[in-house]
Amino acid sequence: MAIPKTISWSADNLDGPSLLKAMSVVVPEALGGTKPVVATVLTLGLYVKGASSPNWALMAQELGKNHPCRILVINPATPSGAARVDVTISATIAERPGAETPILFSECIEMNLKGSLSNHWIDFLQPLVRSGLPAYLWWLGRPPDPDFRWDLLSASGFTHLVLNTADHDWREWLPSLKNAIAHQMRVDDLSWQRFRDLRHHWAQLADTPEILKILVHVQSIEISLLDPACADWVWWLAWLASRFGWSLVFNAEQIPVELETDLGPVPIHLRSGPATTFEATWKEFRVSTTITSTELHSSVYQGHTRVSNVSEHRVSSTVQEDLQHLLNRGHDMLFSSALIRLLDAQKSQGGLTDA
Amino acid sequence: MAVDTPLINPLREGLVDGRRPQPFTLVIFGAAGDLAHRKLFPALYNLLLDHWLPNHFNIVGIARQPYSDDQFRHEVESAIRQFSRRPWEADEFSRFADEIHYITANFDDPQAYVQLRDILGQISKRQHIPHNYLFYMATPPSFYPKIAQHLGDAGLNRPVEDTDWVRVIVEKPFGRDLHSAQDLNTQLHQVFDERQIFRIDHYLGKETVQNILVFRFANGIFEPLWTHQYIDHVQITVAESLGVEGRGSYYDNAGAIRDMVQNHMLQLVSLIAMEPPVAFEADAVRDEKLKVLRAIRPFTTRDVAEYTVRAQYDSGLIDGTMVPGFLDEPDIASDSRTDTYVALRLLIDNWRWAGVPFYLRTGKRLAKRATEIAIQFKTAPHRFFSQTATPELEPNVLTLKIQPDEGIALRFGAKVPGPVVRIRTVNMEFLYGTSFADAAPEAYERLLLDSMIGDSTLFTRKDEVEAAWTLVTSILQGWARAKNPVPTYESGSWGPPEADQLVSRDGFRWRRP
């Protein structure tokens, strides 16, 4: 891990070539003319326009201390006035023993884009995306407009789109995600990352053949939500559907109301309740998981008799930790599979047209 | 309409970090000892922090030291506080294990195993968990057969239900020659099946050692070069700056060849030289490693004299401090002929490696601590730069650095700027520690987790152990016949001159790690 020696530099009203030049000289100048060994393994863009969290600047700096990456903070400040960009560059340097060349562990380029650059930021950014390495774009604000140039974004070198469906209604994101996938971008959701413990928990439950049998033959799904705005249940259903080869059916509000399984339709009953609980029922058997902020507690019932019980401590993590986890592990193919179930459901319902 | 329940749990498929063991109880023989305190308890604690442990997990410790359950729990806690790579968190420790028990007993006391069986049965009953048991032999090797026999007598060697599992982890040294290793295997097999036995070699738990397989087989560009056509020779160095460090009585009976070569270094050789396995599965990988060990040309008595060097460290300076020679260390016999340094030349008689020497060296009290594998390639076939200002081109060397500065370096020639063609050797370097944000787990964390899951890929199989001992025993027998004095080397040096001659005879020299 890097020793957090940080170098900072800022300038107003730069153009593209002078920004590139600044990036190549700021760190060596601060190191007395020594060119560091570059350790960054990816580019991470943070598109922060309309971001609900005001702490993205701090978050970017913290990420830079923990992950070897080039961070580009993209802040299209205002479309009015002349085109200009104000830049702050910070870098984390890891010293090495003896006379070894220091390592450029990470760099963070914070850009306030003004005038026409606030709309044409992709072109401006292109030279800053490290070539030949993965490039993630975390979109912190509202989903892009329908006329967003996904083709330009993809061509600029960004290979991954990251969102957080905990911040925005997942249904608003679906058209954008469909477009991103159509342009060969990989999509990941930080909210999905955070809920990995639920997937592990259900995988562990299904290691028991009797419980797996209940899931395979499921006849109804009951979902009780403490927080009606929370969409984790949607991803849980989409995950189950993708793993078992089922389809999801939406109602007019694009809410999943049914699973199409090999044995026929399975109704999904959604209600508000005093706790968040996911349940699957087959005949007199029922698997039920109650989710709190600290624990996953599951029981299996035969009629009214509880036949087994599993409790697990929950993994708590911050958004920043979720992002680091994603950057370390890379794209989660399970999310793609689950997302495709949702996109298929929306398409069947007539909510999406082909890109 | 009916559907069959799938044989494989579809919810397990594709899970990132999907390796979660079933609930189980870990029984540690030698739970009061150094290994348990320094390695096992901290490793378990870090597995807990990383959410690798199952929702039910228990520990039963057995040793002669008289502890109550509470005292043993306190021992576990203080070991974690002292040796864990992660800081102590009281809340996390509160859910470290559902139950922690301790049995004060001698390992050859049959009553202890009856008590153990009762405790294990009660735990499973109380917690409604399967009878899954992992026995860890963290004891001197002389106890392994006795412990295994008593476990068998108590009926603890077989699963209670078909879906339960029972496994046993055996620490090195696994025998002290071929005969004793075969005896030990026979004794363990009287009680456990091979698939239940996990012989631990902590080198295989190191991330950088596992990376050898990834480097070779997950990249398309290296494997085509990985043959006698392009590789000149291979050097494997495991250098320690420490001496015997209070383990004199053990070390004087083992020496560097038993302590390092038979296990760690031959494992490195087999990983470097093996053919691609058909799958990254336990037997597929171990089959290929075994083929390498069996293809190593055996040593005749004459070969031992010619292609092996052993030596003992003399006094000298380490980090500016004068240290004693091996024969002056505590618990070392004054006439000891034990090797603290070994250098070998191996030849692997197969298609891929025909004519490529593998030079191995390991020693204590060397100039610095370093473990690395250096693959030296043949020089370019046509030297059309020979008329330039650079008469001699250095060969390319690919170095896999195992410790302490984990990484990979490639040495190659580059043009020095200027109107004259001058070539200078430069290094292209990848540093493991700076390219990933996750801290590497300790070797014991990975190996403990694998044994909980039942994945024996990174554990040595009976035939591997015996093949390694076959080679090493032939060297030991050659040394036993030799009457010449054991050479010495100054502490803080890179070994005796005889080792330099071993490689210089073939036109090479040792790298300076």
Task: Note the pLDDT tens digit of each residue in B309-358.
Answer: 999 999 999 888 999 999 999 999 999 999 999 999 999 999 999 999 99
d(CA B266, CA A349): 62
Rounded-to-5 percentages of helix, strand, coil across chain A: 35, 35, 30
Cα atoms in the 13 Å half-sphere on the side-chain side of B469: 21
* Secondary structure of residue B360 in the 3-state scheme: strand
B166: pLDDT confidence band, cut at 50, 70 and 90? very high
CB atoms within 10 A of CB A8: 12
Q: Which of B56, B101, B233, B264 is catalytic?
A: B264
Please report the pLDDT score of residue B350 as a whole number. 97
Predicted TM-score of the model (pTM): 0.86
CB atoms under 10 Å from CB of A70, counted, come to 24
Q: What per-residue confidence (pLDDT) applies to A120?
A: 87
CB distance A105 to A2 below 8 Å: yes
Tell me if B255 sits within 8 A of B340, measured CB to CB.
yes
Nearest C-alpha neighbor of A240 from the set A271, A213, A267, A261? A261
Give pLDDT < 70 ranges for chain A. 1-4, 52-54, 350-355
Considering Cα of B366, then B370, then B375, then B377, what sign does the dihedral take?
negative
Average pLDDT in chain B: 92
Is the N-terminal amide bond of B173 cis, ω within 30° of 0?
yes
Q: Between helices A232-244 and A196-205, what is the axis angle to 10°? A: 40
Candidates B133, B185, B127, B184; CA nearest to B157 is B133
Indicate the pLDDT class of residue B396, thresholds 50, 70 and 90.
very high
Residue contact A217–B20, C-beta within 8 A = no
The dihedral through the CA atoms of B155, B156, B157, B158 has a sign that is positive
Mean pLDDT to the nearest integer, B486-495: 96
Residue A127 CB partners (closer than 8 Å, separation 6+): A16, A20
Mean pLDDT is highest, among A312-326, B74-88, B414-428, for B74-88
Q: For residue B495, give every residue at least 6 positions away whose Cβ sits within 8 Å of its Cβ, in sequence order, or none.
A: B309, B311, B341, B343, B361, B363, B366, B489, B510
B264 is catalytic: yes
The mean pLDDT of B63-74, rounded to a whole number, is 96
Q: Which residue of B has its CA nearest to A101?
A: B429
CA B258 – CA B271 distance, rounded (Å)? 19
A293-324 residues labelled b (16+ CB within 10 A) or e (exposed): eeebbbbbbeeeeeeeebebebbebebbebbb
Contact by Cβ (8 Å): B466, B263: no
Per the structure block, which two tokens stand in for B31? 């739970």
Query: What DSSP character marks residue B264?
Result: I
* DSSP reduced 3-state for B408: strand
What is the per-residue pLDDT for A82? Answer: 86
Continuous H helices in B387-512:
432-435, 443-453, 462-481, 497-504
- Provide the token pair at B373: 């594998």
| Residues in chain A closer than 8 A to B437 (CB atoms) | 1, 66-68, 324, 327-328
Q: Above pLDDT 90, what percent of chain B?
A: 75
Is B424 in the A-facing interface, judged by CB distances under 8 Å?
no
The reported pLDDT for the residue numbered B216 is 96
Beta strands in B146-225 (DSSP E): 166-170, 197-199
Task: Tell me, yes or no, if A100 comes closer than 8 A to chain B by beta carbon.
Answer: no
Which pLDDT band holds residue B487 (cuts at 50, 70, 90)? Answer: very high
State ipTM. Answer: 0.88
Residue numbers in A near B431 (CB within 8 A): 37, 39, 103
Name the β-bridge partners of A7.
Answer: A91
What residues does B493 pair with on adjacent strands?
B366
The answer for residues whose C-beta is within 8 angstroms of residue A36's C-beta and 6 or more apart is A27, A28, A93, A101, A102, A103, A104
Q: Nearest residue on chain B to A261, judged by CA atoms?
A: B3
Secondary structure of residue B197 in the 3-state scheme: strand
- The alpha carbon torsion through B277, B283, B285, B287 (nearest 10 deg) reads -80
Q: What is the dihedral of CA B77, B79, B85, B89, to 10 degrees?
A: 10
Compute the distance between CA of residue B170 and CA of residue B180 in angstroms, rounded to an integer: 15
Please tell me the predicted confidence (pLDDT) of residue B386.
62
Query: CA of B80: how far to CAs of B36, B53, B57, B162, B438, in Å?
Result: 10, 16, 17, 35, 21
Contacts of B3 in chain A (CB under 8 A): 216-217, 262-263
Pairing of strands A295-302, B341-347: unpaired
The pLDDT of residue B227 is 97
Whole-angstrom Cα Rg for chain B: 25
Provide φ and ψ at B337, rounded to 5°. -110, 20
Q: Which of residues 44-73 of B touch A (CB under 8 A)?
A: 51, 54-55
SS3 A78: strand
Identify whether the C-beta of residue B40 lies closer than 8 Å to the C-beta of residue B28: yes
Say if CB A189 and CB A234 are below 8 A apart.
no
CA dihedral A40, A42, A48, A53 (to 10 degrees): -70
| More confident: A267 or B161 | A267
Q: Give pLDDT, residue A166.
A: 87
Burial of A111 (0-12, 13-18, 19+ CB in 10 A): buried
* Residue B389: band (very low, low, confident or very high) from pLDDT cuts 50, 70, 90: low
Q: Tell me which H or E stretch contains A13.
A: strand A5-14
**CA distance, residue B345 to nearest chain A CA (Å):** 33
Phi, psi for residue A241 in degrees, rounded to 5: -60, -45
Q: Which of A103, A240, A324 sits opposite B434 (nearest CB)?
A: A103
CB contact under 8 A, B437 and A309: no
Are A204 and B439 inside 8 Å of each other by CB? no
Cβ distance B435 to A1 less than 8 Å, yes or no, reads: no
Residue B1 has pLDDT above 80, yes or no: no
| B15 to A200: CB separation less than 8 angstroms, yes or no | yes
